[in-house]
Amino acid sequence: MTTIPRGTPQPDGVFGRRVAAALSAKGGTAPEQTIIDAAERLIDSRQRNGVLRLLTSEQFDPTALDGETPVHVQALLANLARGGATGIRLPLCPSCRTRKVVKVRNEHGERECFRCSQRRAYAECPQCLRVKKLTATNADGQRVCQRCGPEGIPTFTCDDCGKTVTTVGRINGRRVCLNCLPPRLRRCVSCGQQKKIAANMLHGPHCFACHNRILRNAAPCPGCAQKRILAFLGTDERPCCADCAGQAARYACRRCGSEEHHYGRLCGKCVLRDRCDDILTGPDGEFLPPMRALRDYLAAQPRPAQIIKWLHMGPSTELLRDIASGRTPIESVLDTPRPSKPLSYLRTLLLDACALPRDAAATRQLMAWATQTINEAPAEHHQMLRTYTRWVLLRRASRDSSGDISAGAARHVKASLRGLVAFLTWAEEQQTPLRALTQAQIEEFTTLRTARRWLPQFLAWAAERDITPDLHISMLPRQVPTISTSEEHLEHVIRVLATDQTIALDARLAALLIAVYGLPASKVLILRRDQLRDQDAALDLLIGDRPLALPDPIAVLAREQLDLLSEAPPNAWLFPGLRPGQPRDPQYLNRRLRPLGVTISELQSTARFRLAGAVPAKVLADMLDFSVATFENYARLSGSTRGDYPALREVSKRRAAPAG
């Protein structure tokens, strides 16, 4: 290769084109104009001959640069890599184990990056505990950072917005604040997008999303098998923890040394404990028993960052302070008739943490709601409504295992009482006392409102006490199961649920269990994790007397759901809801199924008809925990209709299997 004598002027772009040709011959790929512009801008004219000799030599390999590569060549290749060039691998800094430009020699004679060389002049400030340059001295004679010094950090006025700030950048000689400084976009080596870079780690620059993903997802280190943040490179170029890379544990908690819940200088668990100690303690610094139970419950949750944010920004923080100090009794959260969403969430949280007793919580909430609802009715009917609510609605309401009123019974009581208030208000508008009501007026009201589920019971009770005449209302006929969704549409919905990853995973799994086995949504959503059992290569679902082997599409989704809940206890909900200790609501499934043009009840009815036509009713009742009469009714209505689809073949294979 002929060289041009130093100092000889070259035409514009000649040097850049020769650099582009040399890199292309070495396997580097980048737009030619990008290489030309970078080479002409970054390489001084006195260095160009040496650069060309290096790039065209046989020893040069852009994928295996070392610390002895000239700094200006490293800077050129780093600029190209940030612009999207491939086939370039920067040197490995021996101190931070990241790939970047190395140009400053340390005490061992090795070149390291600029940040590592500057870090040697840094130390931990004893006042703010940040690693910074110690350029000031405090009143105790300790070396501290400039911010903690007696004069504080200097301030500047932004030339664009006029704000007084402490950190500035420069644009064409003007001082601007960080908000006015345009972001410098670079290519993230993890996601490949042009974004604002948060830090250089592993194999190069990482954007904020990829940087946070690494810091928030600690994993077992391949070197020491401990759960650590894998933000360093080992000797085999694999991600590892700081100890295995021979680096300082910069992401470890300053208090407990853990890296599992990175949150800053302290881990999320330690920050959460401090926040709970600040909010949940009384004036004497002691915990009340309910607040101690709440603190222990919050400290055991797997994602402390979310709880820290809720305690900092949530609207219930002041109420918790009042309860902890004794100014507000904790039982008052149950006495709000119509609580807001934040108060409902706090109420559920306290119940799940056992800070509130569960034995009569639902009854107390229902009584507070009923009292306010009754007060909205005409005044002359208040005593009658109180008597009817207490001695009829509440006494006949079903109870759960703890003896408290169940959720379904509470909904029925609320619907009945709301309907009664509307009925009495309507009678007042008709200017008709209850003793003068006629059968025609009752029929007229039932055409305006849906009242056949609660009005007959009230009329019978009122007639026995001479409050109303002997009136009656026809009962609703027993509904016969019908099919409103074709089998072709059901097959289409099943295929979409099994393959469409844009639908939430829990909604897909729950809807498939309903669409294939005809299970009610109320039974599916209260499944526990331990009801899914791995048996060799199969995944069994235990609902009735016999284990139900799930077919592959459903088993794959079930295993993915179990992986998401790997940190939850075995008896936790398989479909946890947004409220603590509560499963998903059926309306959640209906909202997810609405784009598919089908509802839960339609999927359930169609699936039961097909099951009843393919499998004996006794086998279905044992497997799915149903009454035999339920499937006998579907089988009788289905007649000679027989159907089968791949999801049902496993049920047919196991219908003769022994129990257990």
Q: In this structure, is residue 202 part of a structural domain?
A: no
Q: Distance of CA 467 to CAs 384, 443, 460, 611, Å?
A: 9, 18, 10, 50
Q: Where are the beta strands (DSSP E) in 489-586?
A: 532-535, 538-542, 547-549
Q: Is the pLDDT of residue 468 over 80?
A: yes
Q: In this structure, is residue 512 part of a structural domain?
A: yes
Report the pLDDT value the prediction gives residue 645, as an integer from 0 to 100: 41
Domain end among 46, 64, 91: 91
Report the pLDDT value the prediction gives residue 635, as an integer from 0 to 100: 57
Write out the two tokens for 21. 């040709």
Report the pLDDT value the prediction gives residue 110, as an integer from 0 to 100: 86
Report the pLDDT value the prediction gives residue 651, as an integer from 0 to 100: 35
The long-range contacts involving 113-116, CB below 8 angstroms and separated by at least 24 positions, are: 113/200, 115/200
Q: In this structure, is residue 70 part of a structural domain?
A: yes
Strand partners, 532: 541
pLDDT in tens, 289-338: 999 999 999 998 888 998 999 888 888 888 999 999 888 888 888 888 88
Same domain, 523 and 619: yes
Same domain, 369 and 334: no
Report the pLDDT value the prediction gives residue 421, as an integer from 0 to 100: 92
Q: Is the pLDDT of residue 1 over 80?
A: no
Which residue range forms the structural domain that includes residue 626?
Answer: 487-638
Rg (CA), the chain: 36
* Total number of residues shown for the chain: 660
Same domain, 371 and 327: no
Average pLDDT, the chain: 82
Domain end among 66, 91, 116: 91
pLDDT level of residue 383 (50, 70, 90 thresholds): very high
Same domain, 501 and 573: yes
Write the CATH number for 627.
1.10.443.10
Which pTM value belongs to this model?
Answer: 0.67
Same domain, 511 and 634: yes
Q: In this structure, is residue 627 part of a structural domain?
A: yes
What does the angle CA 462 – CA 464 – CA 470 come to, to the nearest 5 degrees?
75
Flag the least confident range among 239-248, 363-372, 380-389, 478-487.
478-487
Same domain, 344 and 408: no
Report the pLDDT value the prediction gives residue 461, as an integer from 0 to 100: 92
Q: In this structure, is residue 602 part of a structural domain?
A: yes
Same domain, 398 and 529: no
Q: What is the DSSP-derived secondary structure letter of residue 455?
A: H
* CA atoms of 652 and 644, how far apart (whole Å): 9
Mean pLDDT within 609-613:
71
Q: In this structure, is residue 474 part of a structural domain?
A: no
Q: In this structure, is residue 563 part of a structural domain?
A: yes
pLDDT level of residue 274 (50, 70, 90 thresholds): very high
Q: By C-alpha distance, which of 294, 289, 227, 288 is closest to 261?
A: 227
pLDDT in tens, 147-162: 888 888 788 888 888 8
Q: Kindly report the number of other CB atoms within 10 A of residue 454's CB atom.
A: 19
pLDDT level of residue 127 (50, 70, 90 thresholds): confident
Report the pLDDT value the prediction gives residue 44, as an integer from 0 to 100: 86
Q: In this structure, is residue 317 part of a structural domain?
A: yes
Report the pLDDT value the prediction gives residue 211, as an integer from 0 to 100: 93
pLDDT in tens, 333-355: 888 888 888 888 898 899 888 88
Same domain, 446 and 509: no
Same domain, 289 and 422: no
> Hunting for tokens 């908000």 — which residue is that?
179
Domain end among 336, 357, 378: 357
Same domain, 328 and 345: yes
Report the pLDDT value the prediction gives residue 40, as an integer from 0 to 100: 86
* CA atoms of 399 and 406, how far apart (whole Å): 5
* CA atoms of 196 and 219, how far apart (whole Å): 26
Strand partners, 528: 573
Same domain, 634 and 551: yes
Report the pLDDT value the prediction gives residue 142, as an integer from 0 to 100: 87
Percent of the chain with pLDDT over 90: 12
Write out the two tokens for 399. 């109870």
DSSP string, 387-434: HHIIIIIHHHS-B-TTSSBPHHHHHHHHHHHHHHHHHHHHHHHTT--G
Q: Kindly report the number of other CB atoms within 10 A of residue 579's CB atom.
A: 17
Report the pLDDT value the prediction gives residue 3, as an integer from 0 to 100: 46
Torsion angles phi and psi, residue 104, rounded to 5: -115, 130
Assign 539 to helix, strand or coil: strand
Same domain, 307 and 386: no
Q: Is the pLDDT of residue 560 over 50?
A: yes
Domain count of the chain?
4
Q: By C-alpha distance, which of 460, 643, 660 is closest to 548?
A: 660
